[in-house]
Structure 1
Amino acid sequence: MSPPSDLRPYLRTLDAETLADLLHAQAERDPELRHSLELRAATQSGDVSEAHRLLDAAVTDGNVEYTAKVGAVLDTLQRMLDAGSRADLAPLARRTVDDISEVLEQSGDHVGDLGDRLDRAVELYARACAARPPDPEKLADWILEVEFDGPGRPVIDLAEFATALGEPGLKRIKSTVDDVLAASGPGHRHDVAERLREQLAEVVGDVDELVAILSAKPPRVDVSLKIVRVLRAAGRHSEAIAHAARALTHDKQPPAPEPLKSFGGPGGGAPGPGRNPGSYSDETSRRRKDFDAKPGRETYAALREAATADGKWTAQRRAALTRLRELAADRPEQADELARVLLDDGRPDEAWRACVRFGASPELKLELAEQRAAEHPAETIPVFREHVDELIERKDPQAYQEAARRLKLLRTLHKRAETPEEFAAYLAALVETHRRKTRLITEIRTARIAMPKAVTSHRAPR
């Protein structure tokens, strides 16, 4: 089956009135698009009151309409953050997180589109806090309330909020975590405190504390690899080598025999209906072991299939992605694997952020930039500029022609991002640098890109 054709070249031939009619007709059929357009119109000046009004109205709607309105609010938040809005977006982002959490708690259903929107809302709240930090201790109190007294979701990643929390916020969280660990026995609060304790050690860079926490866990491949990575990052290479050697020796120990009750009978066979869900016969457990041994796109997909069938995917997904992010941070070549996994999950925004954060390959960054250019022009401009440089370095006619085509796209992206003057300055510098490449200059003129005055006033050299 051939992929759908790109309609943008045709759409660019239409006049503004025809495009407006087409978009309006589609918005009448698509509630999420309609809400998104309404918010775009209302927030041009940075005023987010319309987004709050939409959330006020959303609570009385059915699930589908509520999900659509929340999606429109999240799109608006992301658009304004991407554009570097000076508005304080943290209160709106936090309210969105709290509203979605309340709806999910009432419904008891933490999977599906609304559950995905909660994860996205938390990420946008973290970005909004980084852009305009709120009171750090109040932010810490909110995180503690969500973690200890919430329904179990969302699960906060302290690293995302570390900048906004600063020393005062992190100190407040540590004080509460220490108190919980000292006062509580096994249970939900103790487990949450242990997880936050590990995150705190990682965020503040306390290597000894982090290694001690990890070493106290049951021996697993992913835990051992994380200890090695932490020690290497701290420059403690001899300790990293020693730990890797101990872990390798442990892995070579013969495995304990599997209990017969996990199987259909003495001869093996299929698992019976009363199997122990924590045994190796559990499909999710087996797929998790496969992923831990070889984290990647293939083993992640198998784990997702098994865990989804068992209703365990939410927790498994978070742990698996944490491992993939650790690998990407340690080995940049793993960034592509992480991004592809996120794309397979239907999370293109997260895939893009992984590419930017961990340094994915130019090929993948360009692929994602082409997908994001229409909605997020400012984000993708640096990627297309790098591509233009790479094309020019090839020094062949076809590459020059493609570079001119990309320059035309960049001109459009700068217009959409409302930074046309930046494109003019960029083009002037590029032409000045490559003014002796007459074929390139010819292709730029052929693409009908207005040349800088310094070039147009002189005849190009032969």
Structure 2
Amino acid sequence: MSRRSDLRAFLLTLDVETLVDVLCEQADRDEELRRRLSTLRETEEPTRAVLDDGAAQADGVQFDSVLDTVARLLDAGTSADVTSLARRTADRLAAAVRDGEDPSPHLTEQLGRAVSLYARACTAHPPPATELAEWIVRLAFERPDRCEVRLADFAEALGADGIAQVRAAVDAVLADSPVDDEDGGDPMRMRVARALRLEIAEITSDVDTVVSLLSEELPRLDVSLRIVRVLRAAGRHSEAIAHAAKALGNGAASRTETAGGVVEALERVRTRQSPVDTSDVEALLRGNRFDEAWKAAAGHEPSDLIPLYRECVERLIESRNSQCYERAAGQLRRLRLLYRRAGASAEFSAYLAELLARHKRKTRLRDELRKARVALPKVLAG
């Protein structure tokens, strides 16, 4: 037995009061120990106040302080393991959302934020892959209408074994509810299962599966462009060209309802033109350096930037917190201007309606759009 094991075994025999006295005495001499204990206190005290309070679970308001604490510690690069705290907070929020007849949008957003923070904590201090995979599957399918799990956020912590375990669970759901069986299974569970299966394929670079799953969403020119980009990234250029040509042929009648920039991007692939280099703007957008990106955008054609700004908006919305919703609204204002400069204002209206229809439960996103003076489609403006 190691010296550490011997010491641990001895400490376990001591009563709590004795251990507290020893720690306090040592903390008076050891500044690093004092700092670590202070960090734990800052982490645990707000948690107890919230997690032990049934009323707080009901409305979720006080959970903000816990989530802010976890975020602050992670942002500061703390060496403390906040995984258990983030997990407990996510579990309590999940229970409140699951058991509530009509949970508030704020509570649902808090759950999304808690899951994202737990993913960050897991990256720093990975729990056992099997345990994490089971937790993700349970959360994803327990009430699929109330919580979305982004598997990519957990990919590093899961590792190959954990991802394989999640895939087995997802495949079981898909097998129990065939796509062509109208009476089979829960449609929401199927939607979640297909979304997770797509993420797994992307994480594992399974290009054929990515293309197959995306093809289920056709005909949509934006989906076709995504397929084309996947194929080109994999070096399968001839297939990308063929798919672009097919998409433009099938989508010709509905181009007025789609983004002009998407059509032009597909046209360039179809005619084997070199893609326009917009990497400067893309890099700035991915780094959330939005003002710099907008300045760089002045050197490009508006239609070339529309796909980039659409991807940026989607990424921000999927982050599922109010700050990112505010940023998404700001970028939607700029996207609207790009459509206008490209002579496709009507296409922006159609795009915005489709975007909000997909994210109809995110009421705070609509609030931010109103603040940013982005006119909502009439059917959603109420």
Please give the TM-score of this superposition, normalised by the length of structure 1.
0.47
Structure 1 stretches lacking a partner, 5+ long: 1-40, 256-288, 297-326, 354-462
The equivalent of 1:179 in structure 2 is 172
1:88, 1:128 within 8 Å by CA — same for their partners in 2? yes
**RMSD between aligned residues:** 3.6
2:123, 2:157 within 8 Å by CA — same for their partners in 1? yes
1:243 to partner: Cα distance: 1.0
| Cα distance between partner residues in 1 of 2:166 and 2:57 | 37
1:331–1:246 Cα change, 3 Å: farther
1:347 to partner: Cα distance: 2.6
The equivalent of 1:119 in structure 2 is 112
1:84–1:254 Cα change, 3 Å: closer
The equivalent of 2:77 in structure 1 is 84
1:348 to 295, 298, 323: 323
Q: Does 1:203 align with 2:196?
A: no
| Cα distance between partner residues in 2 of 1:102 and 1:249 | 48
Q: Indicate the larger mover: 332-341 or 199-208.
A: 332-341
The equivalent of 2:86 in structure 1 is 93
| Cα distance between partner residues in 1 of 2:116 and 2:260 | 28
The equivalent of 2:55 in structure 1 is 60
1:104–1:216 Cα change, 3 Å: closer
1:228, 1:241 within 8 Å by CA — same for their partners in 2? yes
- SS in structure 2 at match of 1:187: coil
The equivalent of 1:46 in structure 2 is 40
- SS in structure 1 at match of 2:249: helix
| Cα distance between partner residues in 2 of 1:127 and 1:295 | 35
| Cα distance between partner residues in 2 of 1:328 and 1:109 | 44
Q: Percent identity?
A: 40
The equivalent of 2:100 in structure 1 is 107
- SS in structure 1 at match of 2:115: helix
1:334 to partner: Cα distance: 5.2
The equivalent of 2:127 in structure 1 is 134
| Cα distance between partner residues in 1 of 2:280 and 2:127 | 28
| Cα distance between partner residues in 2 of 1:347 and 1:236 | 39
Larger radius of gyration: 1
1:107–1:76 Cα change, 3 Å: same
The equivalent of 1:293 in structure 2 is 259
How far does the alpha carbon of each residue in 1:338-358 deviate from its partner, in whole angstroms, 9 at most, with x for none?
A: 369959x973267789xxxxx
The equivalent of 1:428 in structure 2 is none
Q: Indicate the larger mover: 214-223 or 113-122.
A: 214-223
Q: Does 1:160 align with 2:125?
A: no
Please give the TM-score of this superposition, normalised by the length of structure 2.
0.56
1:162, 1:203 within 8 Å by CA — same for their partners in 2? yes
1:183–1:328 Cα change, 3 Å: farther
| Cα distance between partner residues in 2 of 1:137 and 1:225 | 36
1:134 to partner: Cα distance: 0.6
1:293–1:187 Cα change, 3 Å: farther
Kindly report which structure 2 residues correspond to 1:23-422, keeping only aligned pairs within 5 A, or say none: 44-47=38-41, 48-61=43-56, 66-67=60-61, 69-150=62-143, 152-185=145-178, 186-188=184-186, 189-253=189-253, 293=259, 331-332=282-283, 335=286, 336=290, 337=309, 338=312, 342=316, 347-348=322-323
1:62–1:226 Cα change, 3 Å: closer
1:80–1:107 Cα change, 3 Å: same
1:183–1:238 Cα change, 3 Å: same
1:90, 1:132 within 8 Å by CA — same for their partners in 2? yes
Structure 2 stretches lacking a partner, 5+ long: 1-34, 179-183, 263-277, 291-308, 329-382
